[in-house]
Chains A and B, each alone.
Chain A
Amino acid sequence: MKLKIILKLIRNLFQKPLTVRFPHESIPIAKGYRGKHEHNMDKCVSCGLCAKICPNKAIEMVEVAGKKYPKIDLSKCCFCGLCQDICPVKALKLTQEIPQATPDPSSLIIEVDKTKLDKNP
């Protein structure tokens, strides 16, 4: 038993560390990670199911150009992904992007992108 541990210790001396130098390189995030939302406005049918199921009431339906779209407050969001699962047209999707800490709370709100609407009337 103890011999095994000593052997392991010697092997560890010549191994690379498990940690990485973070800002320069990072450990890849898993494929199914639940991060920041991505909203495809062209697909959205304004059913409001995402706002209904959200356990933290982080989604609010706002009216833009006569149609209702979800406005997501990431500071309230618990990243459960229920909105993604319930969406009948797969317009809402969680990406692998992790919201970073910020001094500006308004940057955590995913507003409805009006410029996109103008291009596709």
Chain B
Amino acid sequence: MSEDNQNYQEFFFGPAHPGSGNFSVKLKLEGEKIIAAKSIPGYLHRGFEKLMEYRTPMQNAVLSDRICVFEPLAWNLVHANAVEELMKIQAPERAKHIRVILAELSRIQSHFIWYGALSMALGFDTGFKLAFGYRDFILDVFESITGARVYPAGYICPGGVRRDLPEGVEEKILKTLEKIDEMRLWEELENPTFQARTKGVGVLKLEDALKLGATGPVLRASGMKTDVRKDDPYELYSNLDFDIPVEKEGDAYARFRIGLREIKESVKIIRQVLKKLPQGEIMEPSLANLAVPYNLPEGEVYVRQEAARGEAAIYLVSDGGIKPYRCKVRGPSFFHLLPVLEHLLQGEQIADVPVIYWSLNHCPADMDR
């Protein structure tokens, strides 16, 4: 009860809630209905922007894994491209191909986590187990390429990639892609309970999405055809043939469909890149020797890329030293969890909170940085 004798209750969703994960929302309830929601960030703040000012670009590549727990390789790529653009160098062709393969595999496994979590929020445990089970096949590929299942430790580093593909990994990737297609078959089995819980829940209109700063799959589910891979191509994306899935409804179900269709497009991209994987160098020769520190030329860059959950960007300033002067990380989840979530929760039922929360495809780690 409040001081002004109004009939509402305050309720915390998270941070200890098993479905929320290091993030908390303070809900104002009138019966079962939410009249106001306030996001409380900061439980996972690790201060990457300051840490990066004290490390050289190669050490920062290792650090950039940890920005987002669910897709370390995507953040590796953003950081590597920011440093390369500042130094005005290009990675060798083979390295670029390997980077795109890993970025797309990372997108697929991140979408699998999204489904797992969304199914868990609905109490649909079969979906959760399926998604996490199939994700393990992709982690096996990561293990043989990068040397660890989840954190690649700066595998995609400024100047290229840290080691060449091991023998026979191409066939392993193709086999994994077949498994992913199999997984999509399971997910397309329209579960009536799933539909009833997600259709018409958490509708985000296009004008609200644009006003509140939504990007990536959330914005595409509201009906905007946008993708950094097409709008501002980086690496090989300008030569690749793929579509951008768009849905009009803007509800939790539309966001789920977008993810499914994006997995299909990512599989298409990986097949194309594997077909034309060239031989040759994997590291720019001037940066290949780690023992020789290089200076970052004076200047500033802003590099943006399409990560699985939206637009990921790094702003890098250098004063000519071996360490960056300032680094700003723009995580897509920040906008999805603060303004968008607060807007969506207003007027919804309390039972729909986990569904709306997980349908936004967020990661508290990259919001708090």
Chain A interface (Cβ within 8 Å of chain B)? 1-2, 4-5, 8, 18, 29-34, 49, 53, 55, 78-82, 85-86, 88, 94
In-complex Cβ contact of B290 among A8, A29, A55, A82 (8 A): A82
Chain B min CB distance to A26 (Å): 14
**Known contacts A80-B154, A82-B59; A30 and B144 CB within 8 A of each other:** yes
> Looking at chain B, what size class is its interface with the partner chain?
20 to 34
* Among candidates A31, A33, A85, residue contacting B148 with C-beta atoms closer than 8 Å: A33
B153 and A34 contacting across the interface, CB-CB below 8 Å: yes
With A33-B148, A34-B153, A85-B290 known as contacts, the answer to whether A80 contacts B62 (CB < 8 A) is yes
- Chain B residues near A86: list those with CB within 8 A: 290-291
Contacts of B162 in A (CB 8 A): 81, 85
Contact A32 B147 (CB under 8 A): yes
The 5 closest A-B pairs by CB, nearest first: A80-B153, A55-B59, A34-B147, A30-B144, A86-B290
Per-residue interface assignment for chain B, residues 137 to 172, with 1 indicating a CB less than 8 Å from any chain A CB and 0 otherwise: 000100111111001011000000011001000000
Interface string of B264-302 (1 = CB under 8 A from A): 000000000000000000000000001100000000000
Given A30-B143, A32-B163, A88-B291, check contact A82 B186 (CB 8 Å).
no
Contact of B291 among A2, A29, A49, A94 (CB under 8 A): A49
* Nearest chain A residue, comparing its CB with the CB of B289: A86
Bound complex: CA A33 to CA B62 (Å): 16
Residues of A within 8 A of B63 (CB): 55
Bound-state Cα–Cα, A33 to B162, Å:
13
